[in-house]
Amino acid sequence: MGTVTFVDETTLGERTAAPPLAVPEEHLPLRELIARRVALETGPEGYEEALARALDAFSRNGFLVLVGDRQVEDPDETVTLGPATEVVFLRLVPLVGG
């Protein structure tokens, strides 16, 4: 069993980490990691709608996901989780006027 720490980061360098989450699996699709992150934030109410919004934002490049030091671009790609894995959600901030 390992732990995953979800970190929100912006291109401006702002970082906010959530408490570590115990994850018994060593391999998970990125889609499942996103789902677990959404579940932490929403709880059971509103989960389905929030997950749909998150996956839509990911598909439109609203944010990037870095697992360890590697960007994962496909939500169905399986990622390997170690004893302490950092998963960064890098929110892309549009240029002023763009």
**Band (94; pLDDT cuts 50, 70, 90):** low
- pLDDT tens digits for range 51-64: 999 999 999 999 99
Residue 59, pLDDT score: 95
Residue 96, pLDDT score: 60
Any idea which residue has 């959404």 for tokens? 38
DSSP string for residues in 63-88: EEEEETTEEE--TT-EEE--SEEEEE
Which whole number is the average pLDDT over 4-8? 96
Q: Is the pLDDT of residue 70 over 60?
A: yes
Query: What does the mean pLDDT of the chain come to?
Result: 92
Residue 11, pLDDT score: 84
